[in-house]
């Protein structure tokens, strides 16, 4: 029987582990100052840990090598009290006490300032007072299993996408509507909990334009793994343009078909949970759909915002995301097509 399989197994495990370090949520692929501090600290700890590991393995290897060259019954190998010379004692003390203490001291000297720097970029917040008008403040409310996103002072409400200007500190004020969640965008910053009845603050800053994926990292229910959020970093002029577009009310339907779809929307159960242009339930349960067509994903980031995915989500959302609060609808056929035309017009 071939022994190649067992020999290659460790390599397969290593390859799988390395593959897990890449992707859209790669912790070490930092694209912001806070995440860069975390990545730098990780590499320092990894390098020191690897160095200690190599030293220990070399010493163990030398001990085995020397032991194999001698007869274990040789009287010369018997340990006597007089054999423990001062040099041996110093070696034991340094290797077992002083050496590890020095390693821990260096790690603390490096990690404490970096940890403080990361901590200074997130603190409790009681409001938006004291911010300049041009400062970007975003209120994010975690709900099962999606994210409500509001820009106070800018009259912008969206869901599951946070738009920020590149190179600027953006204050994320985080809370929860139901259970404890945790907000984490690995490439930009560390994680922070979203707790019902309490507001915490995190600073996001992106070094370059891009779309950065994050997620809830505190188990919150059956669809916890599908509670995704995206941070879209744009140049300042592009961000300002996006804000202006989001502030615009929806125009009157351009075609009779879109008007028919609008009537389907406001005549169905959709309006019990969702709002369009401020028309909807006083206690909004689901995401605001005023500019739904401008978002790249639906279902809190689990699928692209395409006509087919949107139809599947409307008809049977539980098949796409079990445990979410949206029930399926009985809309079908021509009414469903008209509704999709209307929703796709909400740019």
Q: What is the pLDDT of residue 339?
A: 95
Average pLDDT estimate for 209-227 = 95
Hey, which residues does 303 pair with through a beta bridge? 298
Buried b (16+ CB within 10 A) or exposed e, 322-345: eebebeebebeeebbbbbbbbbbb
Q: What is the pLDDT of residue 119?
A: 62
Q: What is the pLDDT of residue 124?
A: 45
| Span 121-148, pLDDT tens digits | 555 444 555 566 668 999 999 999 999 9
Residue with the larger pLDDT of the pair 168 and 55: 168
Q: Is 196 helix (H, G, I), strand (E, B) or coil?
A: strand
Location of structure tokens 């500190």: 169
- Is the pTM for the entire model greater than 0.85? no
Report the candidate in 155, 195, 171, 205 with the shortest Cα–Cα distance to residue 36: 205
**Beta carbons of 231 and 188 less than 8 angstroms apart:** yes
Joined together, the tokens standing for residue 86 give: 């001062």
pLDDT of 245 over the 60 cut:
yes
Location of structure tokens 């929860």: 176
**Beta carbons of 281 and 270 less than 8 angstroms apart:** no
Q: What is the pLDDT of residue 125?
A: 47
User: Is the Cα dihedral 35, 37, 38, 40 positive or negative?
Assistant: positive
Q: What is the pLDDT of residue 23?
A: 72
pLDDT of 200 over the 90 cut:
yes
**What percentage of the chain carries pLDDT values higher than 90?**
55
- Distance of alpha carbon 27 from alpha carbon 33, whole angstroms: 13
Average pLDDT estimate for 164-171 = 96
Question: Is residue 86 very low, low, confident or very high in pLDDT (cuts 50, 70, 90)?
Answer: confident
| Span 252-291, pLDDT tens digits | 888 999 999 999 999 998 989 999 987 877 777 899 999 9
Question: Is residue 330 very low, low, confident or very high in pLDDT (cuts 50, 70, 90)?
Answer: confident
Q: What is the pLDDT of residue 175?
A: 97
Average pLDDT of the chain, as a whole number: 86
């Amino acid at each position: 029987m071939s022994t190649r399989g067992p020999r290659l197994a460790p390599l397969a495990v290593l390859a799988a582990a390395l593959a897990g370090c890449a992707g859209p949520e790669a912790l070490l692929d930092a694209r912001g100052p806070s995440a860069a501090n975390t990545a730098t600290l990780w590499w320092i700890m990894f390098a020191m840990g690897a160095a200690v590991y190599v030293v220990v393995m070399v010493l163990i290897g030398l001990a085995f090598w020397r032991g194999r060259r001698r007869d274990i019954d040789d009287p010369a190998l018997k340990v006597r009290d007089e054999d423990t010379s001062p040099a041996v004692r110093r070696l034991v003390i340094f290797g077992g006490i002083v050496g590890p203490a020095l390693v821990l001291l260096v790690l603390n000297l490096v990690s404490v300032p970096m940890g403080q720097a990361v901590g200074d970029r997130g603190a409790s917040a009681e409001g938006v007072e004291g911010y300049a008008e041009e400062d970007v403040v975003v209120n994010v409310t975690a709900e099962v299993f999606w994210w409500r996103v509001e820009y106070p002072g800018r009259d912008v409400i969206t869901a599951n996408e946070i738009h920020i200007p590149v190179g600027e500190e953006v204050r994320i004020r985080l809370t929860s509507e139901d259970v404890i969640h945790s907000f984490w965008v690995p490439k930009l910053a560390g994680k922070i909990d979203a707790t019902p009845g309490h507001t915490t603050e995190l600073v996001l800053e992106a070094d370059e334009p891009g779309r950065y994926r994050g997620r809830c990292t505190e188990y919150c229910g059956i669809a916890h793994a599908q509670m995704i959020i995206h941070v879209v970093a744009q140049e300042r002029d592009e961000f300002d343009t996006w804000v202006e577009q989001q502030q615009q009310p929806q125009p009157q339907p351009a075609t009779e078909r879109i008007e028919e779809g609008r009537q389907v929307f406001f005549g169905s159960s959709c309006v019990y949970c969702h709002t369009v242009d401020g028309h909807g339930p006083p206690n909004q349960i689901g995401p605001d759909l005023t500019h739904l067509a401008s978002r790249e994903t639906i279902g809190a980031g689990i699928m692209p915002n395409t006509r087919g995915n949107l139809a599947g989500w409307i008809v049977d959302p539980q098949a796409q995301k079990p445990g979410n609060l949206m029930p399926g609808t009985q809309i079908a056929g021509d009414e469903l097509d008209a509704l999709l035309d209307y929703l796709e017009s909400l740019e």
